[in-house]
């Protein structure tokens, strides 16, 4: 579907911030249309309507046309647009997808704007790092989301425990919660995004770049320690060892009322309360604990970056759109409207009144993304991390299982 832009008076967009003086090329009464591709459900219709009206009012002679895209099949569609004669001017992409599009050499280098106009030094690392390829910034962070612990306040109170400050305390408390028919935690055996956080917290990596050649790193001592903690935690519940968090959907399992906690994004909350409205006022939230008190665990950061194709017909105006969407005003508006984490740590306070989102923002400060290889999507397509986790949880030798999974990652990243 398309959300048609709101028409505004015609004139010419000022480009003082880019040129110091003068007007955009092709002045007069020519209207410039900036075409944005945004993903379905990334922003509400109300937000897009308000942003469009505000932007057009402030930039005479520019109209925005927003095309809503679906995630299914978007990779080929974006690649085709990048290689075409000139398609969209701004494209929203998943933060971990930037590398594969940058590999086409068809993205506009936004490094200058990142430093000069957008305060890149304060960006969330989980959004900024995957947007940076070989020292050049191609993806501008737009919004973030990450996992937190969602817990049942009544079950915590019955067991006499409070949200833990460290991973060690978390294990002890979860063991106390695992009683009288209650699962201390529901953690599926193949929740590899959660495992990634434990690996990073130990100083390990999923894969490492060795002079341009990527290699799997699940068999490093640090990564093995992360898996060992995952195994201890997963054993304190009845989550399946051979399935991920969607099989069955963990939010629905939690909604039955006999699970003390799950690790999930706040998007699980409406699923829980719809399935069991009685839990609405019984949900609590805390960041995934880290090894040290006062420092939450590293977490996988999902979300979106904004890119501008080299072939963008209205590149100068597109830059203004990106700067607006990534700037403080509209970052704050988007975070409040959609319960997202803003793209800067300094903006975390704008969601202070939204408990789950504020909790998410605490973890986002230590957010990470998957390895910045153009081939990482191929790893996830036939993910060797999942069977590796099941192998360890069912008693196989961790080092051997990790070595085998790492070799598969290495081979895929070399293709």
Segments forming the whole domain that contains residue 292 = 147-299+372-413
Task: Kindly state whether residues 355 and 384 are assigned to the same domain.
Answer: no
Task: Kindly state whether residues 103 and 165 are assigned to the same domain.
Answer: no
Task: Kindly state whether residues 294 and 155 are assigned to the same domain.
Answer: yes
Q: To the nearest whole percent, how much of the chain has pLDDT over 90?
A: 90
Task: Kindly state whether residues 178 and 267 are assigned to the same domain.
Answer: yes
User: Which CATH number do you get for residue 360?
Assistant: 3.40.190.10
Task: Kindly state whether residues 344 and 276 are assigned to the same domain.
Answer: no
Between CA 203 and CA 195 the distance in angstroms is: 13
pLDDT given at position 29: 58
- Is the alpha carbon torsion for 135, 136, 139, 140 positive or negative? positive
Task: Kindly state whether residues 95 and 175 are assigned to the same domain.
Answer: no
pLDDT band at 30 (very low <50, low <70, confident <90, very high): confident
Between CA 87 and CA 36 the distance in angstroms is: 10
Phi and psi based region of residue 374 (left: phi greater than 0; alpha: psi -120 to 50; beta: remaining) = alpha
Between CA 39 and CA 53 the distance in angstroms is: 20
Between CA 276 and CA 109 the distance in angstroms is: 48
Task: Kindly state whether residues 65 and 109 are assigned to the same domain.
Answer: yes
Task: Kindly state whether residues 45 and 160 are assigned to the same domain.
Answer: no
Task: Kindly state whether residues 260 and 115 are assigned to the same domain.
Answer: no
pLDDT tens figures, 324-365: 999 999 999 999 999 999 999 999 999 999 999 999 999 999
Spell out a b/e string for 142-163, using b for 16 or more CB atoms within 10 Å of the CB, else e.
Answer: bbbbbbbbbbbeebbeebebeb
Please count the structural domains in the chain: 2
Tokens linked to 40: 């379905």
Angstrom CA distances, 243 to 190, 268, 387, stand at 5, 18, 9
pLDDT band at 25 (very low <50, low <70, confident <90, very high): very low
């Amino acid at each position: 579907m398309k959300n048609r832009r709101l028409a505004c008076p015609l004139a010419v967009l000022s480009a003082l911030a880019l040129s110091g003086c003068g007007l955009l090329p092709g002045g007069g009464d020519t209207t410039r249309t900036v075409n944005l591709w945004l993903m379905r459900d990334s922003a509400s219709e109300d937000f897009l309507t308000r942003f469009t009206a505000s932007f057009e009012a402030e930039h005479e002679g520019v109209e925005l046309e927003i095309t809503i895209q679906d995630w299914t099949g978007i990779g080929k569609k974006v690649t085709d647009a990048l290689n075409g004669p000139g398609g969209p001017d701004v494209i929203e992409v998943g933060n971990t997808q930037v590398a594969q599009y940058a590999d086409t050499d068809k993205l506009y280098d936004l490094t200058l704007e990142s430093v000069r106009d957008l305060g890149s030094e304060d960006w969330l690392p989980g959004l900024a790092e995957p947007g940076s390829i070989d020292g050049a910034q191609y993806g501008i962070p737009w919004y973030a989301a990450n996992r937190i612990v969602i817990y049942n306040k009544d079950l915590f109170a019955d067991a006499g425990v409070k949200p833990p400050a460290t991973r060690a305390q978390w294990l002890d408390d979860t063991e106390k919660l695992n009683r009288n028919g209650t699962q201390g935690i529901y953690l599926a055996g193949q929740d590899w995004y959660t495992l990634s956080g434990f690996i990073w917290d130990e100083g390990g990596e999923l894969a490492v770049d060795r002079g341009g050649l990527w290699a799997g790193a699940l068999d490093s001592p640090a990564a093995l320690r992360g898996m060992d903690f995952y195994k201890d935690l997963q054993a304190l519940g009845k989550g399946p060892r051979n399935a991920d968090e969607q099989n069955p959907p963990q939010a629905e399992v939690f909604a039955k009322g006999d699970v003390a906690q799950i690790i999930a994004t706040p998007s699980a909350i409406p699923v829980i309360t719809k399935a069991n409205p009685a839990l609405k006022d019984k949900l609590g939230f805390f960041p995934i604990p880290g090894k040290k008190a006062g420092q939450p665990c590293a977490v996988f950061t999902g979300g979106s970056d904004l890119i501008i194709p080299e072939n963008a017909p209205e590149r100068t105006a597109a830059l203004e759109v990106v700067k607006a969407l990534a700037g403080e005003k509209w970052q704050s508006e988007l975070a409040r409207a959609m319960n997202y984490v803003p793209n800067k740590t300094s903006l975390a306070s704008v969601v202070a009144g939204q408990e789950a989102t504020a909790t998410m923002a605490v973890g986002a400060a230590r957010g990470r993304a998957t390895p910045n290889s153009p081939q990482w999507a191929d790893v996830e397509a036939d993910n060797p991390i999942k069977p590796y986790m099941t192998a360890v949880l069912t008693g196989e030798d961790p080092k051997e299982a990790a070595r085998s999974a790492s070799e598969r990652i290495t081979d895929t990243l070399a293709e």
